[in-house]
Homo-oligomer: A and B are copies of this chain.
Amino acid sequence: MSNNLLTDRFAQGEIARGAWLAVPSSISAEIVARTGVDYCCVDMQHGAVGYSDAIPMMQAVRAEGVTPLVRVSANDMAEIGRALDAGAQGVVVPLVSTPEQAAEAAAACRYPPRGVRSFGPIRASVAAGSSEIDALEQVLCAVMVETDEGLANVEAIAATPGVGAIYVGPADLSLALGLPPKYEHDDPTHESSIQRIRKACESAGIVAGIHCADGDMARRRLAQGFRMVTVANDAKSIGAAVAAELAAAVASSD
């Protein structure tokens, strides 16, 4: 057992359901964290979240006993270190296409001699409950396979030491396959690619994760063997929920 509930879950063979945070507010982060998700991932690649916003969001998430993650904007050692120092208990690294890139992501998450992370755990020690290297290294390195090159290399990526999960980005994967940027397609290539990624993870003994459009899709992905599924996104949720109430208000009144 560590202070990282998410990696503990995965170590015990459990699944995790999470949410995505793109709204730069510790209030919305807290509300989302209180729904009972297992992780909340602050999206610093596509979300509207700057570094100054991300820290209070992670503080709010942690307060609920939920594991804070950050999707970084790039496979960049300094940015990964900044996210972890700020208290993320894992990073989701986009657009990883080769085992070398996967190894770089993994190295950015651990200290020498296992990696290249620089020491200065201002909030990492809060998250880990310790300033010991072992505790601080209890973080999830999830790499995204979502390019054609990444797909071609997925087995080697999955086998890269230090990589704890592959997280599928279905929209970018669609574009990589010449399809519109959707989560699911009738075209069998997209689905078979997703399953190839899942199997690569299973073979390598790491977690297969995937971004889902909604809870229903997440349920179906879990049934397939994915173990880390994002069920909702704050920005989309708020828009959909308010629109639904507005529609209900309009429905029979006009």
Contact = CB atoms under 8 A, between A and B. Distances in A.
Contacts of A126: 30, 34
Of A27, A232, A234, the most chain B CB neighbours within 10 A belong to: A27
Contacts of A73: 78-79, 81-82
**For the complex formed by this chain, how many copies does it contain in all?**
6
Sort chain A's interface into a size bin.
35 or more
Contacts of A32: 238-239, 242
Contacts of A253: 15, 218-219, 222-223
A36 interface: yes
18 contacts: A22-B27, A23-B23, A23-B31, A26-B59, A27-B55, A36-B246, A46-B85, A52-B52, A52-B53, A62-B63, A63-B63, A119-B181, A133-B175, A133-B181, A214-B248, A218-B245, A232-B245, A237-B238
Interface of A: 15, 17, 19, 22-28, 30-32, 34-37, 43, 45-48, 50-53, 55-56, 59-60, 62-63, 73-74, 76-79, 81-82, 85-86, 94-95, 111-113, 118-123, 126, 133, 146-147, 169, 171-172, 174-176, 178, 180-181, 212, 214-216, 218-219, 222-223, 229, 231-232, 234-235, 237-253
